[in-house]
Amino acid sequence: VDSELRDRWLDLVQRRVAGANMRSGAVRLAVAEWLARDGQCLVTVPQIVDGLRDRRLGSQASVYRVVEQLFSLGLLRRVAGGDGIARYEIADPQHHHHHVVDEATGDVVAFTDRELEAAIADAARRLGFELVAHDVILRGERLRVPAATRAQDQARV
């Protein structure tokens, strides 16, 4: 858990919620806190509901509503896993990251890569699009001896 990111994101949530004439609410706060801690990479709404079950708050309906609100405010990224279930993660304005899925184990590794970002920006420019978001998912199998790892940031999730 990246505690710096967590705190930065919670601050952002507070500011954006305040700036959208929404009132503070117990469920939204609980969902935001849970996501700041456990939603740094690809969680489903049912997982959030489970995570809040012990607190005796956060009905299914409210959690879906809160997640939709946070997404609309640009505070969450929604990346579909390919299995027909929507997955969310907190959106960090300072860092993009993408995902590589180990087909053998199902493990998800998050990574950032400057060259990939540049290639995406170039492609969008060539296509005549102003880019507002982009998702990349790689699928493969982990090699025994990785080539020299130059990706800037790499973390098992």
Partner DNA sequence: TTATATGCAAAAGCTTTGCATGGGT
Partner DNA sequence: ACCCATGCAAAGCTTTTGCATATAA
CB of 144 to DNA, least distance (A): 32
- The answer to whether residue 21 forms part of the interface with DNA (CB under 7 A) is yes
Residues in 97-136 that interact with DNA by CB under 7 A: none
- The answer to whether residue 23 forms part of the interface with DNA (CB under 7 A) is yes
- The answer to whether residue 14 forms part of the interface with DNA (CB under 7 A) is no
Which of 6/35 has CB closer to its own copies? 35
- The answer to whether residue 95 forms part of the interface with its own copies (CB under 8 A) is no
* Binding site partner of 140, from its own copies, DNA, none, Cβ cut-off 5-8 A by kind: its own copies
Contacts 24+ apart (CB under 8 A), 6-9: 6/36, 6/37, 6/40, 7/36, 8/92, 8/94, 9/36, 9/75, 9/90, 9/91, 9/92
- The answer to whether residue 32 forms part of the interface with DNA (CB under 7 A) is no
Burial zone of 153 (CB within 10 Å; 0-12 exposed, 13-18 middle, 19+ buried): exposed
- The answer to whether residue 156 forms part of the interface with its own copies (CB under 8 A) is no
Q: How far apart are CA 144 and CA 38, in angstroms?
A: 29
Exposure class string for 30-62: b at 16+ Cβ within 10 A, else e: bbbebbbeebbbbbebebbbebbeeeeebeeeb
How do beta strands 43-44 and 76-80 pair?
A: unpaired
* Binding site partner of 116, from DNA, its own copies, none, Cβ cut-off 5-8 A by kind: its own copies
> Residues binding DNA: what is the number (CB under 7 A)?
26
Q: How far apart are CA 42 and CA 92, in angstroms?
A: 13
CB of 46 to its own copies, least distance (A): 11
CB of 23 to its own copies, least distance (A): 28
- The answer to whether residue 136 forms part of the interface with its own copies (CB under 8 A) is yes
Residues within the interface to DNA (CB under 7 A): 21-29, 44-46, 57-62, 64-66, 68-69, 84-86
